[in-house]
Amino acid sequence: MKTARFLICHHPFASEDEPAEFVLHNAQPRFLAKAEALDFEELETRPDKPFGDVLYINGEGAMEIYRLTVTEFYDRADDDDILQVLLQGGHDFYVSYLDQVAEDEEEKPGYPVKDFNKELPGLKILQASDTFTLVYNGLVADFKSEEELDEFLEQDLGITQSMLDQGIINKFE
């Protein structure tokens, strides 16, 4: 039997101020990432190591936020390679794990907040009735209009108009 690329690890003796849940990636590049729940206000803090934020809408419709931060590197790899694995495979794996936990607790599974564009993993745009919120690499910014958001995406992040036209905006009430 082949071992899965991603595994969940639990630290049974963790104290309240320590992470108790980890994601192990056991293929190249191998690494261990701690999984911690965050409040929305905490999204702006950037750890020194590669990380990916998982925005998840639970079965009751509430947003839960988890940060996967690489704590141990087992192979030589640059941060971009690890970040790509973490943002794509690690993110999807952790969402599947959250769904399994909900099912085990006989709750309705949720769904992830979608990335704006698959070429920009981790970039998420949330639209409420009167504001647009951008979440990307620890950056959280609010915009009053889609035009203001598009201008920021083009000028500050260098996103082309064709990528803007293909992007997904997550709408919430």
Per-residue pLDDT tens digits for 98-112: 999 999 999 999 999
Do 108 and 156 lie in one domain? The reply is: no
* Mean pLDDT across 67-95: 89
Residue 18 has pLDDT above 80, yes or no: no
SS3 125: strand
Which tens digit of pLDDT belongs to each residue from 151-170?
Answer: 999 998 888 888 888 888 99
Out of 112, 134, 150, a domain closes at: 112
SS3 120: coil
More confident residue, 77 or 48: 77
Please give the torsion angle defined by the CA atoms of residues 9, 11, 12 and 13, in that order, rounded to the nearest 10 degrees.
170
Domain hosting residue 140, numbered range: 124-171
Do 82 and 136 lie in one domain? The reply is: no
CA distances from 107 to 47, 61, 65, 172 (A): 32, 12, 18, 21
E strands, 61-173, where? 63-73, 111-112, 124-127, 132-136, 139-143, 170-171
Does residue 119 belong to any structural domain of this protein? no
Does residue 166 belong to any structural domain of this protein? yes
